[in-house]
Structure 1
Amino acid sequence: MMATVRRLLKTFLVFHLLHLSTSIDTISSTQFIKDGDLIISRGKIFALGFFSPGNSVKRYVGIWYFQVSEPTIVWVANRDSPVNDSSGILSIDTDGNLALFESNQTVPLWTTNISVVPEKNAVAQLLDSGNLVLLQNDTGKLLWQSFDCPTHTLLPFMKLGLNRRTGLNRELIAWKSADDPGTGKFSYRIDPTGFPQLTLYKGTTKWWRSGSWTGQRWSGVPEMTSNYIFNVTFINNQDEISIVYGVTKPVTTRLMVNESGFVQRFTWSNSDHRWIGFWSAPKEQCDYYDHCGANSNCDPYHADKFECTCLPGFEPNSLDEWYLRDTSGGCKRKRDMSMCQKGEGFVKVAHVKIPDTNITRVEMSLDLKACERECLRNCSCLSYSSAYGESKGGIGCLMYHGDLIDTRSYTNAAGQDLYLRVDAAELALYTKKGSLSKKTILAIVLVISVATILLVAFVFWLFRRRRRAEKAGDGKNIEFNFTSSLTQFEDSMNVNEPDGNRRDFDLPMFQLSTIVEATNNFSVDRKLGEGGFGSVYKGILQNGKEVAIKRLSKYSGQGIEQFKNEVLLIAKLQHKNLVSILGYCIEGEEKMLVYEYLSNKSLDSFIFNETKRAALDWSKRFEIICGIARGILYLHQDSRLKIIHRDLKASNVLLDATMNPRISDFGLARIFGGDQIEANTNRVVGTYGYMSPEYAMIGQFSIKSDVYSFGVLLLEIITGKKNSGFYLEDAASSNLVGHIWDLWREGRSLEMVDVLLRESYRTQEVMRCIQIGLLCVQEQAADRPTMAMVVSMLGNDKDLPSPKRPAFIATRITNTDENSRGINSANEVTISIVLGR
């Protein structure tokens, strides 16, 4: 932060000093400027001179705002050919070109490079618009202008677009960095193919697009509404295709492409003395090009759902990948759809940024109705849309004949309507305007009515049942049938263990009335949290002992088997890094476990909370890592039962008063025989983001499944970031493991260490832990170490093997093989059922 401030102060000081050595607004054959001189536009709006950006010592010729206190460069002449010292001179050369020379060199570093009249007849002038023009002195004829050679900034009344006659393409290209104005990797230009649109590129890959021009705005820029400040002119004819942003009021505004890949518009606030962000893109996941894959729609307005859905008439190319939030395969036509002159029609998808228009057939003479008829006659026409919406009377037709790429939804009246071709069977669910048919509406109303009646009846029956129980019972408001449930539970516990012996089950059973009293009737004030299978409450027994009570929801999916499993396992496990169970309660539909109370709650409440995380220095985090490792090793090897936890994650690690870790929640654990190595299941349970690939995809689990989960957890502890919740604009990978792997290969893995650790860690020790984490998350289970090996690695300084590529590496925004899409898993959701392939 201080370095940034110093850099701004340095730049400001340089600009301020340059203001003191001002000149006129022109350069002629007899009037040149050297480093330290300025020319200033007539109205003192813009200045031109030499500058050094950021921390650089190299010199560039640029244009900036003269009266804006924050140094703001809007154009650079020699962006890729800097002057290495302060000897630069900008002058009119003998050919009449404006040229930049260094020292006594005769070859210019930069020149306007045009054929003009003799040098005495040319003059360069800086205008109040920010445009540097080269004119023929006697006639005033324009020979060259900086507005035709933009860098990273678009000023008012400056054209952006293509001159079809001359081939001149005016585009914005970002700087390489804040210290280097050289040609960067992001460019912003009009794509003239198909129906024109503005597109932001990262290299040759599309990064974001504006959508098509509707006559009033770009369809993908809903903020572009009125002409209150901006007067926009869009030109599309045989000579040129361009857009010009004019201003109707005296405001200082600019549009720029920054080095991080954002298009931004700013306005200057004279009262606050700063630039205020007016608009920026991309600003959310759905803005990134092709975020959901081909033939899909991205809807960011339903936070409780996955933002990607297939368009009507389409289904995911791969259900397994789609379920795992990998949408790189996109969607395909449903296999049973027959769509050529067999009663098919169109379904309307309203208020969207219509798909990429570079593959469209454009018929500007057709209205929307004629467009529908034309598309229906052509069996290869998959959808259509109005080119201009209603802004030009609905005239203008766009027809799509290939995959539909980069569609996204907007709220209210933003966006345009897209009409999708569907077969007769799917069309029966819709009218031609996209609403449900009368028969479908009638059926839905009927179903809802019946369901409502049944629900009311059920609630009434439940109420009567509860009232009878209160009158017949001991006054408590929880009904139970003690005898039958307890007998069923105790009978189910009398089973042979894997070693062939029968064990006595000896664990205290709590009465329901005792639990109700201890939790103040399950008061909200006593609630500690909520997991996948129910809620956890703090309880205070009559003797004053504090306990944690896990109350299983009857709708949770954890039945008598999972409950028995957790009681049986924890009762038989004794280790300082495993949570201790004090008893259980089972009466009627109530199933509860009574644990020791751990005052610091779960690990995730610390490492994912910036305030609490600051209290965990490296030594404490390393102790937690080692404690978790020893606890898993005990489960895998040192206990008399070999146990696979299957749901190891930050929220299932509790911390006692001295911050020692205790592994909890054994509801999903499985017992292995002494010589058993692995097992399969058709019911995959656990939490994506911590789940090993062989378990998530084919239901195969082993001790290496827990090793994978431990590796993810270790990396989360070091970085303070969630694996699947990780998001960084510049990162190629969209999960934490993938990003750390990328940095590891580049020798930069320490960049991901939690900044709150500051100087509390030893570099070699943290590097070793990162390497151990990457060894644990390798894609092949056979490559991962055992927990015995992990504990050994954590306890000594011997050389470690190099890790191989991790599983589930996810990358952002795919358009080429180089940028393949990855998986965005929902880390905090416990998955109940997934059928293995």
Structure 2
Amino acid sequence: MISGSRDSCFPASAVSTIKVGDRLNSTSQLVSPGGNFTLGFFTIPETKYTYLGIWYTVDDSLSRKVWVANPSTPIISNSSVLMINPDTGKLIIDTGGITLVNISDNQSGPTSNLTATLQDIGDFQLKNEVDNQILWKSFDYPTNVLLPGMKLGSDLRTGTRNWKLTSWLSDKVPDYGAFTMSWEPNGENSQRLLIRQRGQPYWTSGDMNDQTFKFMFVNAPWSEYWYNLSYVYNNEERYFSYHGFNGNTPMWILTSNGQVLDDESSALWSPECVAGSNLPQCRSEDDQFFQRNGDFAPDMTEGSSYDDNSSVSFSDCMVRCWNDCSCLGFITNSNGTGCLRWTGAKSVNNFLVNPQGISVAKHGLIAEERQKDDEKHLLELMDSSNTEKGGRKGSHMMVFSFSAIVTATNDFSDENKLGQGGFGPVYKKY
């Protein structure tokens, strides 16, 4: 429920507004007046981190968030609440009386006349009820999703408003990722969307003509009849927006690998890689990565390197491998971050092996099945007649299953990390 320091009476049905003194906790939610959208706290099971977000109410899986309030500041406490700070007038996430996140940037000062309402279009608005002035709204701070009516572009009147999408770091980490999508017209007669990777141009939609783009709807041709595209180009604002029809939950999602999907998870745009002018000398336009189950033969690689930086995304790892002429393939952690790369000679056709005997392509990327194959092969080397505490004991060493190790180290958490040496990190038992 929504609780507060003052007496507040809420109807039995869902509410869409909080006032000064109200607190939205982890077990309560706001629902827009027409029931289209829901706002509340959600936890990603793989990381156990909690975020405040907005999603379509009909999305029972809660797998697609249209907006996240704290992408870079995950919550680890279930006592966090959403509230309006009575001293500053800002929307905040509070944990035990301490402000964890300032969501809004308004400078209202002490006041009791503010409300925050989830609109039926998916916009979360902070408003002064005295003069009906909107002080802040989530549509001005998009994350990775463009909803109907949202803007991509710039407000020339203020010079500070710039609306753009930023991808998640991975499908399981909402932190800011490698890709952005913005509206960057090249003069009045050249209106276009541009995707950048770490600030560098990655892909363009081409100029917008007759309410469509040259490279749009190639993979989802039926989507052309779902959207009404428009743009504004004047001395005050320059932005792109769209409206949906014939679709129940329209949304454009900029994914962590630089694709743009619509509400049916069909690719509106599927950029493959950077322009040919950015190719390293050792690569050709015919070169590409293929995802395969398997591994590199130990005696056919020159080494490997591992970066466990949690801000490194899958696409970052791919770029590192692509730009390294000696890189044979790569893999990321289970949450889609970090980077493990194998290096060797340029010709790698025989450098990949597969337990099932399936042939692999020139440039390889290992799937997550590798850890299962490694475990199977290690266990086959051991005497399986003796088992002890989840492991199998041979004549000289004991091999534990991967699942047993994950449990023992609390999923390789930093709290259980003792240190790191030349062979990698060392963990204590959880």
Same fold flag (TM > 0.5): yes
**Pairwise CA distance, 1:146:** 0.4
**Pairwise CA distance, 1:721:** 6.4
Q: Give the counterpart of 2:284 among 326, 339, 346.
A: 326
Are residues 758 and 751 of structure 1, via their aligned partners in 2, closer, same or farther at CA, if it must alter by over 3 Å? same
**Pairwise CA distance, 1:40:** 0.9
Q: Distance in 2 between matches of 1:281 and 1:111?
A: 31
Alignment-derived partner of residue 377 in structure 2: 760
Alignment-derived partner of residue 164 in structure 2: 171
Is 2:235 aligned against 1:277? no
Q: Distance in 1 between matches of 2:125 and 2:173?
A: 25
Equivalent pair of 1:152/1:173 in contact (CA under 8 Å): yes
Is 2:34 aligned against 1:50? no
Larger radius of gyration: 1
Say which structure is richer in strand: 2
Is 2:41 aligned against 1:30? no
Alignment-derived partner of residue 130 in structure 2: 138
**Pairwise CA distance, 1:153:** 1.0
- SS of structure 2 residue aligned to 1:760: helix
**Pairwise CA distance, 1:77:** 0.8
Q: Distance in 1 between matches of 2:235 and 2:56?
A: 36
- SS of structure 2 residue aligned to 1:113: coil
- SS of structure 1 residue aligned to 2:284: coil
**Pairwise CA distance, 1:96:** 1.9
**Pairwise CA distance, 1:249:** 3.6
**Pairwise CA distance, 1:58:** 2.5
Q: Distance in 1 between matches of 2:78 and 2:371?
A: 42
Equivalent pair of 2:217/2:269 in contact (CA under 8 Å): no
Range with bigger deviation, 712-721 or 149-158: 712-721
Q: Distance in 1 between matches of 2:21 and 2:351?
A: 65
Question: Residues 450-599 of structure 1 correspond to what in structure 2 (within 5 A)?
Answer: none
Question: Residues 119-518 of structure 1 correspond to what in structure 2 (within 5 A)?
Answer: 119-166=111-158, 167-193=160-186, 195-223=190-218, 228-249=225-246, 251-266=248-263, 276-282=264-270, 285=272, 288-290=273-275, 292-293=276-277, 326=284
Task: Tell me the percent identity.
Answer: 25
Question: Which whole-Å deviations, capped at 9, do the CAs of 1:571-626 have from their partners, x for residues lacking one?
Answer: xxxxxxxxxxxxxxxxxxxxxxxxxxxxxxxxxxxxx9x9xx99xxx9xx99xx99
Q: Distance in 1 between matches of 2:166 and 2:30?
A: 25
Alignment-derived partner of residue 715 in structure 1: 351
**Pairwise CA distance, 1:68:** 2.2
**Pairwise CA distance, 1:162:** 1.5
Q: Distance in 1 between matches of 2:140 and 2:161?
A: 8
Equivalent pair of 2:217/2:224 in contact (CA under 8 Å): no
- SS of structure 1 residue aligned to 2:22: coil
Question: Which whole-Å deviations, capped at 9, do the CAs of 1:408-448 have from their partners, x for residues lacking one?
Answer: xxxxxxxxxxxxxxxxxxxxxxxxxxxxxxxxxxxxxxxxx
Amino acid aligned to 2:167: A
Are residues 32 and 712 of structure 1, via their aligned partners in 2, closer, same or farther at CA, if it must alter by over 3 Å? closer
**Pairwise CA distance, 1:215:** 3.6
Alignment-derived partner of residue 831 in structure 1: none
Q: Distance in 1 between matches of 2:107 and 2:374?
A: 62
Are residues 221 and 751 of structure 1, via their aligned partners in 2, closer, same or farther at CA, if it must alter by over 3 Å? closer
**Pairwise CA distance, 1:722:** 5.2
**Pairwise CA distance, 1:230:** 1.4
Amino acid aligned to 2:377: S
Q: Distance in 2 between matches of 1:82 and 1:325?
A: 39
Equivalent pair of 2:155/2:236 in contact (CA under 8 Å): yes
**Pairwise CA distance, 1:75:** 0.8
Q: Distance in 2 between matches of 1:256 and 1:75?
A: 11
Alignment-derived partner of residue 414 in structure 1: none
Q: Distance in 2 between matches of 1:250 and 1:751?
A: 34
Question: Residues 813-832 of structure 1 correspond to what in structure 2 (within 5 A)?
Answer: none
Amino acid aligned to 1:68: D
Q: Which has the higher contact order (CA 8 A, sep 6+)?
A: 2
Q: Give the counterpart of 1:104 among 74, 92, 97.
A: 97
**Pairwise CA distance, 1:232:** 1.3
Question: Residues 52-71 of structure 1 correspond to what in structure 2 (within 5 A)?
Answer: 52-71=43-62
Is 2:32 aligned against 1:41? yes
Q: Distance in 2 between matches of 1:178 and 1:225?
A: 26
Are residues 715 and 327 of structure 1, via their aligned partners in 2, closer, same or farther at CA, if it must alter by over 3 Å? closer
Are residues 764 and 153 of structure 1, via their aligned partners in 2, closer, same or farther at CA, if it must alter by over 3 Å? farther
Are residues 123 and 713 of structure 1, via their aligned partners in 2, closer, same or farther at CA, if it must alter by over 3 Å? closer
Q: Distance in 2 between matches of 1:751 and 1:92?
A: 43
Are residues 114 and 173 of structure 1, via their aligned partners in 2, closer, same or farther at CA, if it must alter by over 3 Å? same
Amino acid aligned to 2:59: V
Structure 1 unaligned segments of length 5 or more: list them. Answer: 1-20, 267-275, 295-307, 309-320, 329-607, 627-692, 694-707, 727-734, 741-749, 766-837
**4+ residue runs over 6 A deviation:** 224-227, 754-758, 762-765
Q: Distance in 2 between matches of 1:32 and 1:231?
A: 38
Equivalent pair of 2:211/2:230 in contact (CA under 8 Å): no
Are residues 753 and 41 of structure 1, via their aligned partners in 2, closer, same or farther at CA, if it must alter by over 3 Å? closer
Are residues 27 and 230 of structure 1, via their aligned partners in 2, closer, same or farther at CA, if it must alter by over 3 Å? same
Are residues 721 and 148 of structure 1, via their aligned partners in 2, closer, same or farther at CA, if it must alter by over 3 Å? farther
Equivalent pair of 1:209/1:289 in contact (CA under 8 Å): no
Q: Distance in 2 between matches of 1:216 and 1:41?
A: 30
**Pairwise CA distance, 1:27:** 0.9
Are residues 191 and 716 of structure 1, via their aligned partners in 2, closer, same or farther at CA, if it must alter by over 3 Å? same
Are residues 158 and 293 of structure 1, via their aligned partners in 2, closer, same or farther at CA, if it must alter by over 3 Å? same
Aligned residues: 317
Q: Distance in 1 between matches of 2:49 and 2:92?
A: 18
Instruction: Report the aligned-residue RMSD.
Output: 4.1
Equivalent pair of 2:92/2:101 in contact (CA under 8 Å): yes
Alignment-derived partner of residue 116 in structure 1: 108
Question: Which whole-Å deviations, capped at 9, do the CAs of 1:162-182 have from their partners, x for residues lacking one?
Answer: 212223111111112233211
Equivalent pair of 2:217/2:223 in contact (CA under 8 Å): no
**Pairwise CA distance, 1:248:** 3.2
Amino acid aligned to 1:49: G
Q: Distance in 2 between matches of 1:754 and 1:90?
A: 40
Amino acid aligned to 1:65: Y
- SS of structure 1 residue aligned to 2:167: strand
Structure 2 unaligned segments of length 5 or more: list them. Answer: 1-11, 301-325, 327-344, 383-430
Q: Distance in 2 between matches of 1:228 and 1:54?
A: 36
Are residues 325 and 99 of structure 1, via their aligned partners in 2, closer, same or farther at CA, if it must alter by over 3 Å? closer
Question: Which whole-Å deviations, capped at 9, do the CAs of 1:763-786 have from their partners, x for residues lacking one?
Answer: 999xxxxxxxxxxxxxxxxxxxxx
- SS of structure 2 residue aligned to 1:289: coil
Q: Distance in 2 between matches of 1:108 and 1:717?
A: 48
Amino acid aligned to 1:137: E
Equivalent pair of 2:79/2:95 in contact (CA under 8 Å): yes
Amino acid aligned to 1:293: S
Normalising by structure 2, report the TM-score: 0.63
Q: Distance in 2 between matches of 1:257 and 1:761?
A: 40
Say which structure is richer in helix: 1
- SS of structure 2 residue aligned to 1:51: strand
- SS of structure 2 residue aligned to 1:139: coil
